Copies of this chain bind each other. A is one copy, B any other.
Amino acid sequence: LKAQIKAKNFKIEIGNLHTGERNCITDVPGVKVGHTTISNGDIQTGVTAILPHSGNLFNEKVLGSLYTINGFGKTTGSIQLEELGTIETPIILTNTLAVGVGMQAIVEYTLKNNPAIGRTTGTVNALVCECNDMVLNDIRQVSVTKEHVFQAIEQASKEFAEGNIGAGTGMVCFGLKGGIGSSSRIIKLNDQTFTIGTLVLTNFGKMEHLTIDGKKVGPLIKDRLTTNIEPGEKEKGSIIIIVATDLPLSERQLKRVLKRTTVGLSKTGSYIGDGSGDLAIGFTTAHKIIHEDPSTFSTRQIIQDYLLDVVFQATADATEEAILNSLLASETTVGRNGQKIYSLRTFMNHIM
Contacts and interface: CB of A to CB of B under 8 A. Distances in A.
A298 interface: yes
Question: Copies of this chain, how many?
Answer: 4
A101 interface: yes
B99 A76 contact: yes
A102 interface: yes
Given A126-B100, A297-B304, A259 B274 contact: no
A75 B107 CA distance: 14
Contacts of A111: 97, 140
Interface in A231-287: 234-236, 248, 250-252, 256, 259-260, 262-264, 266-267, 270-275, 277, 279
Interface stretch (A49-57, A171-179, A308-316): A308-316
B85 A80 contact: no
Q: Give chain A's interface secondary structure class.
A: mixed
A270 B274 contact: no
A295 to B, nearest CB: 7
A295 B301 CA distance: 11
A263 B260 contact: no
Given A107-B100, A215-B214, A300-B300, A80 B84 contact: no
A263 B320 CA distance: 13
A200 to B, nearest CB: 16
Contact of A301 (B117, B298, B312): B298
A223 interface: no
Given A117-B140, A123-B132, A267-B266, A303 B308 contact: no
Contacts of A215: 214
Given A123-B139, A250-B251, A251-B251, 4 more contacts: A74-B77, A97-B124, A100-B102, A274-B309
Interface of A: 68-80, 82-85, 96-97, 99-105, 107-108, 111, 117-119, 122-126, 132, 134, 138-140, 142, 189-190, 192, 211, 214-216, 234-236, 248, 250-252, 256, 259-260, 262-264, 266-267, 270-275, 277, 279, 292-293, 295-309, 312-313, 316
Q: Which 6 A-B pairs have the closest CB atoms?
A: A71-B83, A100-B103, A214-B214, A100-B104, A266-B266, A100-B100
18 contacts: A71-B82, A78-B78, A97-B124, A103-B103, A107-B142, A118-B138, A122-B134, A122-B275, A190-B296, A214-B215, A250-B300, A259-B272, A263-B272, A266-B267, A271-B309, A272-B312, A293-B304, A297-B304
